[in-house]
Amino acid sequence: MTPPRKVAIVGANRIPFARSNTAYINDSNKSMLAAALRGLIERYNLQGEQLGEFVAGAVLKHARDWNLAREVVIESQLAPTTPAYDVQQACGTGLEAAILVANKIALGQIDAGIAGGSDTTSDAPIAVNPGLQQAMMRFNGARTTGDRFKAFGKMLRPRHLVPEIPRNSEPQTGLSMGEHCQITAKRWKIDRAEQDALAMRSHQNLARSYEEGFFDDLITPYQGLARDNNLRPNTSLETLAKLNPVFDREAGTLTAGNSSALTDGASCVLLASEAWAQERGLPILAYFRSAETAAVDFRDEREGLLMAPTYAVPRMLEKTGLSFADIDFFEIHEAFAAQVLSTLRAWEDETFCREQLGLSAPLGPVPEERLNVRGSSIATGHPFAATGGRIIGQLAKMLAEKGEGRGLISICAAGGQGVTAILER
């Protein structure tokens, strides 16, 4: 068998992330993803190129988005003969899309592809009531005008006119992601001060990165924004400490300040074989080394909804023969500060590592100076499917600037899932 090819990360692009119902209030998943892709195409002169595929997704999708990736390609400057398809794995969507493209490049099935993701909570789909939906289907299937009105008259009730507003909750438990995370924070004894300190560092690191021009070749300005409008460069521990708990108002520690905000945005990543990139004189920032996914049964009170990466990472390290000592940068998606801190604490806990992970010794610790050093989701915001592309782009550029090293990506996702990867240079 032909050995797998190395998969190069050539570049990435995103639009600035915007808080829900602000700058992108009139934008759709399609318009934002198209803007992120257009910026990537222009930066790397991909006009007219037929790529192996474009893989992208969104978590909150309207029915009109059913072929989102393909529609974006057709309206882009890529060759319209570039195949495209949608994926969805909650918050892991963007990273999973990149893994799918990388795998095909490694196997020689394609030479280059783009992975992306887009999400908007400003344009979240609002469903009609099931009763109204059934009445409308009967109306549509009736043969005569009289039968149609009879169908409405027999089935439709005033309560059926009330729409179903989307809620960020788990169908299996009825609890929101934040409520689940609050339970996990209590289990791992993560206090409020720790969470606020991590949140403040996220804003400080992102602000410093903008000041240094780090994002100049990673972001395309859009709708009047040149940087993420969730960023609070002057936030302080005193300011964060004044915020009230959100998910447990009596004894909770999670607040709007130490949690990621509802956000709109999109991102894309260009992946290729070494030969394809070299033929076009394109840079290689880093390489995909490995990836791993995991899932936990969060209905079991011993497991946390957002703790699946704690299982995926040690599996990935074992397969690659690496340890935390070999990792230069840790990119742990900040859905909540408490979720990041619980993950770190689990990897340092001897009992958890032995009984749950099957390890002979703790996996951690993770040095603070290696964690989310360019800011993460609490500061940037978190447009669900776009977060993976943001992290890949940041990490690949960090490795390129360092000239060598490895970086680990860990993303928790709804449904008790985790998507992780290792990049290296």
Closest CA to 43 of 122, 98, 114, 137: 114
- Please tell me the predicted confidence (pLDDT) of residue 302: 82
Q: Is the peptide bond before 362 cis (omega within 30 degrees of 0)?
A: no
Structure-block tokens of residue 74? 């057709």
From residue 307, give the alpha-carbon distance in Å to each of 222, 314, 318.
34, 13, 19
From residue 13, give the alpha-carbon distance in Å to each of 3, 231, 266, 326, 387.
30, 18, 9, 28, 12
- Please tell me the predicted confidence (pLDDT) of residue 214: 98
Which of these is catalytic: 62, 91, 181, 268?
Answer: 91
**Catalytic status, residue 382:** yes
Q: How far apart are CA 249 and CA 251, in angstroms?
A: 6
Query: Please, what are the domains in the chain?
Result: 177-212+289-424 (3.40.47.10)
Cα R_g (the chain), whole angstroms: 22
Q: Which long-range contacts (CB under 8 A, 24 or more apart) does 317-324 make?
A: 317/363, 319/290, 319/292, 320/289, 320/290, 320/422, 322/406, 322/422, 323/363, 324/363, 324/364, 324/365, 324/366
pLDDT per position in the chain (425 positions), as tens? 678 999 999 999 999 999 999 999 999 999 999 999 999 999 999 999 999 999 999 999 988 899 999 999 999 999 999 999 999 999 999 999 999 999 999 999 999 999 999 999 998 776 656 666 676 666 666 778 776 666 666 666 666 555 666 666 899 999 999 999 999 999 999 999 999 999 999 999 999 999 999 999 999 999 999 999 999 999 999 999 999 999 988 889 999 999 999 999 999 999 999 999 999 999 999 999 999 999 999 998 789 999 999 999 999 999 999 999 999 999 999 999 999 999 999 999 999 999 999 999 999 899 999 999 999 999 999 999 999 999 999 999 999 999 999 999 999 999 999 999 999 99
Q: How far apart are CA 136 and CA 99, in angstroms?
A: 41
**Catalytic status, residue 181:** no
- Please tell me the predicted confidence (pLDDT) of residue 155: 63
Torsions phi, psi for 169 (to 5 deg): -135, 155
**Catalytic status, residue 412:** yes
Structure-block tokens of residue 106? 């490694």
- Please tell me the predicted confidence (pLDDT) of residue 371: 98
- Please tell me the predicted confidence (pLDDT) of residue 8: 98
Residue with tokens 């192996």: 52
Label residue 359 left, alpha or beta by phi (over 0 means left) and psi (-120 to 50 means alpha).
Answer: beta
Q: How far apart are CA 270 and CA 129, in angstroms?
A: 41
Encoded amino acid at 219, one letter? I
Which of these is catalytic: 181, 268, 353, 412?
Answer: 412
Q: How far apart are CA 266 and CA 116, in angstroms?
A: 7
